Structure 1
Amino acid sequence: MDTKYWSVDKSVENHGAYPQLGEAAQLLRQHEVVAFPTETVYGLGADATNDEAVEKIYKAKGRPGDNPLIVHIAEFKQLENLVADIPDSARLLMKTFWPGPLTILLHVKPGQLSQKVTAGLDTVGIRMPSHPVALDLIRKANLPIAAPSANSSGKPSPTTAAHVREDLDGRIAGIIDGGQTGVGVESTVLDCTVEVPVILRPGGVTKEQLEKVIGKVVIDPGLQSSDRARPKAPGMKYTHYAPDAPVYLVDGSITYMQHLIDERRKKGQRVGAIVTEEAAGFIKADAVEICGRRDSLETVAHHLYDALRSFNQIDVDVIFSEIFPREGIGQAIMNRLDKAAGRKYLFEKEES
């Protein structure tokens, strides 16, 4: 397949309308798959109402069929056609965080979406992205767009069009290059079909931010388990975000991380390290990737996938990574690192 490529400068003042997206929107209406930027990561979009189109997403990504997809909309009026009811708490969250990196799980209206989107469940995750290119594309297509991250299943999510090309060139109809994404990790997925809303995937909107608006929110215990038989949201069951080399999360000092690196190098292995700016000057490895600043976890979220992906271009046998507090955006960062590492931790206290 010849993958078309469009470059869009979202910084240009054009009142949110991009003429060059007309061809991409037409391809979506023809049940093809197009990658596009959002404020979180790049999405792989297709007509959420059509089985053939949605199947092309799964085929391009190599994604398991029991992993549901998030549906993207550009107008509130689209929502009424897709879901059966909207609780008051969900409406308040939409008013506060939409457009933005929050996906809200609601009961799906029968017959409105492909069952391949919902993976046979009676719920669907809906979000309204804030990226102007994404919004204009959805409006031009005049369709609800199913869109997981635009990467090969299990690999780090793409934050640039170049990342999408690495994984999917020749496998999808088109790629819209809108520059680097902002947040860097996917949207928060919040289940609003239950009495106390449940975070199914931490992301760009934090637990603390949600609770300021609607009160108590809990985190699904399934996030700490890999044996969920039927995930309600993306990222709950399968290994995700992983580079080719195995990743280990280091719970300990920078001195301890250097010790682990030295031990592996003595065995003839090439070692990579993911560290913050504060630690970078104290680490010597075959490849060191700086993921942001510990005093600003938003920078870590922004650069995390880029750091993970970079090791696929470097010949290393193993990767060690710092860990972060599970508070605020740190909850999303650690969720992604847990998945990338398959929850493989090395604890300094166990060796002391």
Structure 2
Amino acid sequence: MEILRQGGVVALPTETVYGLAANAEDELAVRRVFAIKGRPATHPLIVHLAGVDALPDWARSIPEEARRLAAAFWPGPLTLVLPRTSRATDAVTGGQDTVALRVPAHPVALAVLRELGGGLAAPSANRFGRVSPTTAEHVRHDLGNDVDLVLDGGPSIVGVESTIVDLSSGAPAILRPGGLAAEELERVLGYPVPVRTASTVRVSGTLASHYAPRVGVVLVEPSEALARVEALRLQGLQVGFLGPSTLSLPRELIRLDIPEDPAGAARLLYLRLREADVAGLDVLVACLPPAQGLGLAVRDRLSRAAAPRTPEA
């Protein structure tokens, strides 16, 4: 805890992915997080809180929908975007008048937050634009000695980042699909919550290229998988396949299986993308799941992993 109080940076587990945490009210520590990740300063961070009681300290306006969602899903993989108080600095918000807030569900993260008595700015503990870490080993591999301490809380049980919902003005909208399904939000609110692909509010993880392994990724629907794999192999490429084991494909193909159920696919997605990078592949053919439940988040991550790479990614 003294590391955080003295301006240090700690990697800690959450139920979604491992986060690179700094005291959200220590601007120098927050800027160090940006430097370690290589993250643009205009790209805002999520502030993690110990409980819903801390919400008024960071959000100056809390609509009834936000209170209902927080009561239903915190602690958990839900981030709420709300108008900020002065406690949320420009370093955290990227200069915006909004702040992204969530209460993580991992006992280690919650224990640290309760002991700290404040908020933690904690983006994923990896280099900017790359595949997020779901184990302490991933963090050590990616960041090495740049982090003051790595807390090992075991593998992340959700496996993809939180769902981000904008409640800063107007009706709720999903800005980033994640570990909480849209259907669950709609069950609590009683009406559809759209995914907003274009927004004036900047949030984490929504650049076109993100969550990207070093190997190139080609996306396919299940019915297209065999034809695409064969076409790429005819070009003399070393091809890998990411998708369910039930699809019939060439036996000698390097396969990185993920479950057919969306929650299982989300849990293993980043691990499999990392395995693709060490398998000596020229290209990874990735099968898209249905856009339902957590399948929407998996499709989102795969689409960004396959997008043309930006200089940062």
TM-score by length of 2: 0.94
The answer to whether the 8 Å contact 1:39/1:131 transfers is: yes
CA deviations 1:299-336 (Å, max 9, x no partner) are 00111111111112121111101011111111111110
Task: Give 1:196's match in structure 2, choosing from 155, 162, 171.
Answer: 171
Aligned to 1:70: 46
Aligned to 1:153: 128
Counterparts of 1:116 and 1:176, CA distance in 2: 25
Task: Give 2:190's match in structure 1, choosing from 204, 209, 215.
Answer: 215
- Whichever residue aligns with residue 169 of structure 1, its letter is G
Q: How far did 1:286 drift? A: 4.5
Q: How far did 1:231 drift? A: 5.2
Counterparts of 2:277 and 2:185, CA distance in 1: 36
CA deviations 1:209-229 (Å, max 9, x no partner) are 11111133221032xxxxx7x
Task: Give 1:277's match in structure 2, choosing from 238, 242, 245.
Answer: 245
The answer to whether the 8 Å contact 2:79/2:100 transfers is: yes
- Whichever residue aligns with residue 242 of structure 1, its letter is A
Extract unaligned runs of 5+ from structure 2: none
Task: Give 1:94's match in structure 2, choosing from 60, 70, 87.
Answer: 70
Alpha-carbon RMSD: 1.7
Single out whichever of 233-242 and 55-64 deviates more from structure 2: 233-242
Counterparts of 2:88 and 2:302, CA distance in 1: 32
Counterparts of 1:310-325 in structure 2, within 5 Å, are 310-325=275-290
The answer to whether the 8 Å contact 2:81/2:165 transfers is: yes
Counterparts of 2:163 and 2:100, CA distance in 1: 10
User: In the alignment, is residue 132 of structure 1 matched against residue 88 of structure 2?
Assistant: no
Describe the SS at the equivalent of 2:246: helix
User: In the alignment, is residue 167 of structure 1 matched against residue 142 of structure 2?
Assistant: yes
User: In the alignment, is residue 31 of structure 1 matched against residue 7 of structure 2?
Assistant: yes
Q: How far did 1:38 drift? A: 0.5
Task: Give 1:288's match in structure 2, choosing from 234, 246, 255.
Answer: 255
Counterparts of 1:263 and 1:343, CA distance in 2: 21
Q: How far did 1:252 drift? A: 4.6
Counterparts of 2:174 and 2:92, CA distance in 1: 20
User: In the alignment, is residue 205 of structure 1 matched against residue 180 of structure 2?
Assistant: yes
Describe the SS at the equivalent of 1:116: helix
Aligned to 2:209: 239
Describe the SS at the equivalent of 1:278: coil
The answer to whether the 8 Å contact 1:54/1:114 transfers is: no
Describe the SS at the equivalent of 1:259: helix
- Whichever residue aligns with residue 206 of structure 1, its letter is A
The answer to whether the 8 Å contact 2:45/2:204 transfers is: yes
Q: CA 1:263 to 1:36, structure 2 compared with 1: closer, same or farther past 3 Å? A: same
The answer to whether the 8 Å contact 1:275/1:321 transfers is: yes
Counterparts of 2:289 and 2:222, CA distance in 1: 11
Q: How far did 1:260 drift? A: 2.5
- Whichever residue aligns with residue 288 of structure 2, its letter is I
Q: How far did 1:125 drift? A: 0.7
User: In the alignment, is residue 187 of structure 1 matched against residue 162 of structure 2?
Assistant: yes
Single out whichever of 270-279 and 259-268 deviates more from structure 2: 259-268
Matched residue pairs, number?
308
CA deviations 1:18-48 (Å, max 9, x no partner) are xxxxxxx211111111110001111110011
- Whichever residue aligns with residue 95 of structure 2, its letter is G
The answer to whether the 8 Å contact 1:272/1:318 transfers is: yes
Task: Give 1:178's match in structure 2, choosing from 149, 153, 160.
Answer: 153
CA deviations 1:84-108 (Å, max 9, x no partner) are 1211111111111111110011100
Q: CA 1:86 to 1:176, structure 2 compared with 1: closer, same or farther past 3 Å? A: same
Q: How far did 1:172 drift? A: 1.2
Q: After the TM superposition, which parts of structure 1 deviate over 6 Å for at least 4 consecutive aligned residues?
A: none
Aligned to 1:302: 267
Describe the SS at the equivalent of 2:219: strand
The answer to whether the 8 Å contact 2:181/2:294 transfers is: yes
Counterparts of 1:62 and 1:107, CA distance in 2: 27
The answer to whether the 8 Å contact 2:5/2:23 transfers is: yes
CA deviations 1:89-146 (Å, max 9, x no partner) are 1111111111111001110002x12311100000011000111011001112222000
